[in-house]
């Protein structure tokens, strides 16, 4: 008998910092979307999946950042499960993992897994993948928030009922722009807007899920505000000579006017020096992307 019941989505939040993984529960199996960063969070995700009493059919990796794939090793400890990603996400993870080790080991110690598990099955734009009653359609977005992003549409009866966006938008938290693909990110938002209804539930890597329309609009304005704030040189005294710390402080004030509070503020602050250099280069040499 075909399984026609709609899958149920469980959100699992990290304990180390605010990051989400999702368990998509079908009648007979579960599919995990992203796995957070650390050993304890990956184990907790496994415990939540096991408590549902259904085998893990697959893991989906939405994008190339370590706070979404680091937890796969503890999640899958002892299991042989397909780990799906578009080829660009897979390649970026493998390319950048050694440099992420240099950054994350001092920050997170033993929580950052000694051995990371990478995707083992690549999929491509437009692929439709079925797990029990869950039908996913793959949207390969390319560079954006990370060096390579993807969007996973959950379909039922031929229509999109929900989407997993990774960090395509943050649920009203500060964001990471240090990879520099801000033009790609804005293009990805426009593309997602064309694929999703304004009311389609969008499950994100950080913060509360919600209707896609307002979340995508909010994220676009956040990116624009950040770029404007980094570009703005308030006085002659600062032009070219201000320290990264001084510029970061000024950009922080501007961004906290857009989004008060400090959820993931450190990600935005880490992004100021690299974005300052990218924008300075673009001013000299024209757009880089």
Q: Which is nearer to Zn ion, 46 or 63 (CB)?
A: 63
For residues 169 and 186, give the distance between their C-alpha atoms in angstroms, rounded to a whole number. 10
Q: The dihedral of CA 69, 74, 76, 79: what is its sign? A: positive
Q: Which is nearer to Zn ion, 70 or 132 (CB)?
A: 70
Closest CA to 145 of 195, 106, 116, 180: 180
Return the beta strands (E) in 174-280 as ranges: 201-204, 210-211
Q: Which is nearer to Zn ion, 132 or 149 (CB)?
A: 149
Q: How far is the CB of 19 from Zn ion (least distance, A)?
A: 6
Subset of 166-225 contacting Zn ion (CB under 5 A): 167, 205
Structure token digits, residue 271: 């992004």
Contacts 24+ apart (CB under 8 A), 195-201: 195/139, 195/151, 195/153, 195/160, 195/163, 196/153, 196/160, 196/163, 197/160, 200/160, 200/161, 200/162, 200/163, 201/161, 201/162, 201/163
Q: Which stretch binds Zn ion (CB under 5 A): 65-73, 74-82, 116-124, 229-237?
A: 65-73
- The SS3 assignment for 21 reads strand
Q: Which is nearer to Zn ion, 41 or 167 (CB)?
A: 167
* Residue window 8-47: x/- pattern of binding to Zn ion, with contact defined by CB under 5 A: ----------------------------------------
Residue from 41, 67, 111, 263 binding Zn ion (CB under 5 A): 67
Q: Which is nearer to Zn ion, 171 or 205 (CB)?
A: 205
Closest CA to 4 of 130, 136, 156: 156
Structure token digits, residue 98: 């050694």
Structure token digits, residue 178: 């240090």
* Residue window 78-97: x/- pattern of binding to Zn ion, with contact defined by CB under 5 A: --------------------
Q: Which stretch binds Zn ion (CB under 5 A): 24-32, 57-65, 81-89, 196-204?
A: 57-65
Q: Which stretch binds Zn ion (CB under 5 A): 164-172, 242-250, 252-260, 276-284?
A: 164-172
Q: Which stretch binds Zn ion (CB under 5 A): 63-71, 114-122, 232-240, 275-283?
A: 63-71
Q: Which residues bind Zn ion (CB under 5 A)?
A: 65, 67, 167, 205
């Amino acid at each position: 008998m075909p399984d026609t019941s709609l899958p149920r989505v469980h959100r699992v939040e990290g304990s180390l910092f605010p990051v989400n993984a999702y368990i998509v529960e079908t009648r007979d199996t579960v599919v995990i979307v992203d796995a957070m960063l650390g050993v304890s969070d990956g184990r907790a995700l496994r415990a939540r999946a096991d408590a549902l009493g259904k085998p893990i059919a697959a893991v989906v990796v939405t994008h190339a950042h370590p706070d979404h794939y680091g937890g796969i090793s503890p999640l899958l400890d002892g299991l042989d499960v397909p780990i799906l990603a578009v080829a660009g996400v897979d390649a970026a993870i493998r390319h950048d993992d050694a440099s992420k080790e240099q950054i994350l080991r001092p920050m997170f110690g033993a929580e950052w897994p000694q051995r990371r598990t990478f995707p083992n099955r690549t999929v491509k734009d437009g692929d439709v993948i079925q797990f029990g009653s869950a039908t996913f359609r793959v949207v390969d977005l390319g560079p954006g928030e990370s060096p390579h992003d993807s969007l996973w549409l959950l379909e039922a009866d031929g229509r999109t009922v929900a989407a997993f966006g990774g960090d395509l938008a943050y649920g009203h938290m500060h964001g990471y722009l240090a990879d520099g693909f801000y033009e790609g990110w804005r293009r990805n938002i426009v593309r997602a807007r064309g694929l999703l209804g304004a009311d389609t539930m969008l499950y994100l890597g950080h913060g509360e899920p919600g209707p896609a329309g307002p979340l995508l609009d909010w994220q676009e304005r956040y990116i624009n505000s950040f770029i404007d704030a980094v570009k703005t040189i308030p006085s002659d005294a600062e032009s070219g000579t201000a320290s990264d710390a001084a510029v970061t402080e000024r950009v922080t004030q501007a961004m906290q006017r857009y989004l008060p509070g400090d959820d993931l503020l450190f990600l935005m602050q880490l992004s100021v020096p690299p974005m300052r250099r990218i924008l300075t280069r673009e001013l000299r040499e024209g757009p880089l992307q």
